[in-house]
Each structure stands twice: as C-alpha cells, then as structure tokens.
Amino acid sequence: MKLLVAVKRVIDYNVQALVKADQSGIELANVKMSMNPFDEIALEEAIRLREKGAATEVVVVSVGEAKAQDTLRTALAMGADRAILIRTEEEVQPLAVAKLLKAVFDEERPGIVFLGKQAIDDDSNQVGQMLAALCGRPQGTFASKVELAGETITVTREVDGGTETVALMLPAIITADLRLNEPRYASLPNIMKAKSKPLVQKTPADYGVDISPRFITLKVVAPPRRAVGYKVPDVDALVGKLKEMGVAA
C-alpha cells in the first residue's frame, strides 16, 4: 500500500509573526521557515506504518514556491521515499490545494492520505475535509490514534466532549492532531541520502486545476495588545475598580 502525505512550508512556530506595514499580509522576508508542525506529525505516522510493514512507500507532496523544496527534502530526510512539488508563486487557497491533492490522489492511488489538521499560518482547517469530499472517501479528522487492520483503519479523534472512535474503509483521508505521535529528527546520514531521493516538480496546469483565488484578503492586522492589569488591596477596592470600568453596577 502507498501512503500520501501533504506538507506545507510555513513560518517556524518559534518565530514571532509580524504584519507588513501596508497590512497586505505577514512579513516573510528573512524569516525562518519550516514544515508545518501538524504535517510533521502526519508524516511521522505514515513512516511508522511503513516501518511496521503496513505500507510499501511514503510519498510527500507540497504546493508552493520553489523554496518548498527545502521542506520536501526535510520530509525525505525523515524517511519519505519520494516527493512531488506542485510549484506556483501565487497564493493557493484551501479549495485549490484540495483540488490539486485530489489530482495527485487520482494519479498515485494511495491507500491513505495523511495531512496535518491545519496549517499554523492561516489556521483554515479545511483542506483535509475538502479533499475527502472531492475524493468521495471517508475521513478521520483530528486523529490522536490510528490502528490499521486489513482494509479498515480505526481512528480515535479528538472532539469537544472528549474522543470519538471511527472505523474507515480504505482509501481514507486522515488529519493529524498533536497527540498522535512525536515526530523524529532527521539524522545527518539521512539528510545526505535525501539529496539523492527523487523530487518531481509539476505545476497546477499539469493537473488542469484552476488556482484562481475565491476570496480576497482586504487587510491583515495584529491582534490588540492585552490591556494593563491592576493590583487591588482588598475586595472593596476590587468592586470599586469594576464599577469604574463599567463592568459592575
């Protein structure tokens, strides 16, 4: 069985994102970029399934500019077998990404598609669900545990009230949550080996997918600064302060 994993190049989670002066987006110049953390978890799970003998190949795919090759090489160093970069310099919105992944799904015919539950740059949490709908396949979102048995995969998923367990017939789409696993670090020998692993570059036109935006970002603003806190000596002072702020009558 083949496993397909979608990964995205995003601002590193340790970096403080800054809004551009003209409010047109987030400043990306000279900013450290890395693989989306949830996608790392999805990739780790696919590699573990292959190591258990449940799959024969792990293919990673990314949609983005040429620099996304670095992210794919990281995925190959972690243990993926080959990579596909759908190269475009334009902003690609979730529906277009899902359509491109659907085209790759039709071409590769994987048994399972793994994705992170969301990307930390836009937090859309849409691609996995859209891909499942486009492919007409079952989905297990927010997965914290997966168990493969024959043609069925059991997914424990995190929901508002706790957890829910679903059994899905393959092929299936799974989006990874934080508690699914702890991703490995790529070793130096594997980083060197990754340079010789196949990485194919394609374009949206190769798949016949229109990536024209469906919505326009008018402006991006930073969240408001947290208001200054106050220390009060006693309950009476607290009540008085609340009345002053108009919170209490």
Cα-flanking dihedrals φ and ψ of residue 206, to 5°? -60, -30
Cα–Cα distance for residue pair 97/179, rounded to 1 Å: 25
| pLDDT for 222 | 84
**Calpha distance 127→118 (Å, rounded):** 8
Residues of the chain scoring pLDDT < 50: none
Extents of the domains making up the chain: 2-224
Domain 2-224 falls in which CATH fold? Answer: Rossmann fold (3.40.50)
Which pLDDT value is given to residue 44? Answer: 97
pLDDT at 224: 84
Look at residue 48 in the predicted model and tell me its pLDDT.
96
CB-based contact 80:104 (threshold 8 Å) = no
Residue 188 and residue 77 in contact, taking contact as beta carbons nearer than 8 Å: no
pTM higher than 0.75, yes or no?
A: yes
Q: CB–CB of 100/211 below 8 Å?
A: yes
